Amino acid sequence: MICAVDSSHFEAKRFFIDQLVVKRRNAIAHGQQEFLQEAELDTLVSDILALMQHFRSLLENKVYLRKYVA
């Protein structure tokens, strides 16, 4: 659990996060070439932004409701 937010939404996206985002990021960081098709890139960016926006919303709700742990 990060920042005391519900992680169930992210658990459902575990394969996407682990295999399509983190694995590719690590490959690129270690000098391997990763090729994406334009259509795949658009979907990947859209899905990543949706996850980031959901996480932001969860954090903002914690702050607004003062349910964060100090």
> Structural domain tally of the chain?
1
Nearest alpha-carbon partner for 4 in 49, 58, 51: 58
Asked whether 61 and 6 are in contact (CB, 8 A), the reply is no
**Segment 2-50, tens digit of pLDDT:** 778 888 999 999 999 998 899 989 999 999 998 888 888 899 999 999 9
Domain enclosing residue 46, as ranges:
8-64
Residue 2 lies in a domain: no
C-alpha 2/C-alpha 23 separation (Å) is 20
Residue 70 lies in a domain: no
For 16, counting Cβ atoms within 10 Å of its Cβ (0-12 exposed, 13-18 middle, 19+ buried), the class is: middle
Residue 49 lies in a domain: yes
Nearest alpha-carbon partner for 54 in 5, 15, 21: 5
Residue 43 lies in a domain: yes
Residue 1 lies in a domain: no
pTM assigned to the model: 0.77
